[in-house]
Amino acid sequence: MGKKKTIINELERGIYDIKNELRYKYKAKSGLTKEIVEEISYQKNEPKWMRDFRLKSLEIYNKISVPTWGPDISEVNLDNIVTYIKPDVDLKTSWDEVPKDIKKTFDLLGIPQAEKEALAGVGAQFDSEVVYHNIKEELVNLGVIYTDMETAVREYEDIVKKYFMKLVPPNDHKFAALHGAVWSGGSFVYVPKGINVEIPLQSYFRLNAPGAGQFEHTLIIVEEGAKLHFIEGCSAPKYSVINLHAGCVELFVKEGATLRYSTIENWSKNMYNLNTKRAIVEKNGTIEWVSGSFGSKVSMLYPMSILKGEGAKAEFTGITFAGNGQHLDTGAKIVHAAPYTSSNINSKSISKDGGVALYRGVVKISKDAHHSKSTISCESLMLDDKSKSDTIPVIKVENDEVDLGHEAKIGRISDDVIFYLMSRGISEKEAKAMIVRGFVEPISKELPLEYAVEMNNLINIELEGTIG
* Cα separation, 389 vs 466, whole angstroms: 17
Averaged over 82-87, what is the pLDDT? Answer: 95
The answer, yes or no, to whether residue 10 has pLDDT greater than 60, is: no
Higher pLDDT, 22 or 290: 290
pLDDT band (50, 70, 90) for residue 432: confident
Residue 375: CB atoms within 10 A of its CB come to 15
- Taken as a whole, the chain contains a residue count of 468
User: Strand order of the sheet with strand 258-267?
Assistant: 129-135, 121-126, 201-206, 227-235, 258-267, 286-295, 313-322, 342-351, 372-382, 402-412
Residue 350 scores a pLDDT above 80: yes
On whether the CB atoms of residues 85 and 28 are closer than 8 A, the answer is yes
E runs forming strands in 182-253: 186-191, 201-206, 213-214, 217-222, 227-235, 243-245, 248-253
- Is residue 268 within 8 Å of residue 236, measured between CB atoms? yes
Cα distance between residue 60 and residue 173, in whole Å:
9
- Give SS3 for 414: coil
Q: How far, in Å, CA of 170 to CA of 174, rounded? A: 8
Return the sign of the alpha-carbon dihedral for residues 230, 15, 441, 302.
negative
Pairing assessment for the beta strands 313-322 and 333-336 based on DSSP bridges: unpaired
Per-residue model confidence (pLDDT) at position 53: 98
Gyration radius of the chain over CA positions: 21
Longest dimension (CA), the chain: 69
Confidence of residue 7 (pLDDT cuts 50, 70, 90): very low
Whether residue 14 has pLDDT greater than 80: no
pLDDT, one tens digit per residue, over 142-168 is 999 999 999 999 999 999 999 999 999
Q: How many CA atoms lie within 13 A of 341 on its CB side?
A: 33
What pLDDT score was predicted for residue 5?
Answer: 46
Quick one: DSSP state of residue 29?
A: P
Question: Is 70 exceeded by the pLDDT of residue 13?
Answer: no
Beta bridge partners of 365: 336, 397
312: nearest Cα among 391, 253, 394: 253
Mean pLDDT check: name the lowest of 177-191, 371-385, 439-453. Answer: 439-453
How many C-beta atoms lie closer than 10 Å to residue 368's C-beta? 14
Q: Are 191 and 226 in contact (CB under 8 A)?
A: yes
> Rounded distance, CA 348 to CA 437, Å?
12
The helix/strand/coil state of 397 is strand
The set of residues, in sequence order, having a beta carbon less than 8 Å from that of 57 and lying 6+ positions away, is 170, 177, 178, 179, 180, 181
- Encode pLDDT of 441-461 as tens digits: 877 777 766 677 777 777 777
- Higher pLDDT pick, 114 / 49: 49
Q: Give mean pLDDT, residues 39-56.
A: 97
More confident residue, 111 or 398: 398
Single-letter code of the amino acid located at 369: A
The pLDDT of 45-70, averaged and rounded, is 96
pLDDT band with cut points at 50, 70 and 90 for residue 9: very low
Q: Which of 417, 448, 439, 454 is nearest to 13 (CA)?
A: 454
> Would you say 225 and 193 are in contact if contact means Cβ atoms under 8 Å apart?
yes
CA nearest to 398, candidates 361, 369, 362: 369
Beta carbons within 10 angstroms of residue 356's beta carbon = 19
Angstrom distance (rounded) from CA 390 to CA 385: 14
pLDDT in tens, 205-259: 999 888 999 999 999 999 999 999 999 998 888 887 899 999 999 999 999 999 9
Report DSSP state, residue 81. Answer: -
pLDDT of 268: 87
Going by C-beta distance under 8 Å and a sequence separation of 6 or more, which residues neighbour residue 59? none
Strand segments, DSSP code E, in 136-176 are 145-148
Residue-averaged pLDDT of the chain: 90
The total of other beta-carbon atoms located within 10 Å of residue 221's CB is 22
Q: How many CB atoms lie within 10 A of CB 353?
A: 18
The separation between CA 107 and the C-alpha centre of its own chain, rounded to angstroms, equals: 21
**pLDDT over threshold 70, residue 1:** no
Q: Report phi then psi at 164, rounded to 5.
A: -60, 120
Q: How far apart (Å, rounded) are the C-alpha atoms in residues 302 and 16?
A: 24
440 against 130, higher pLDDT: 130
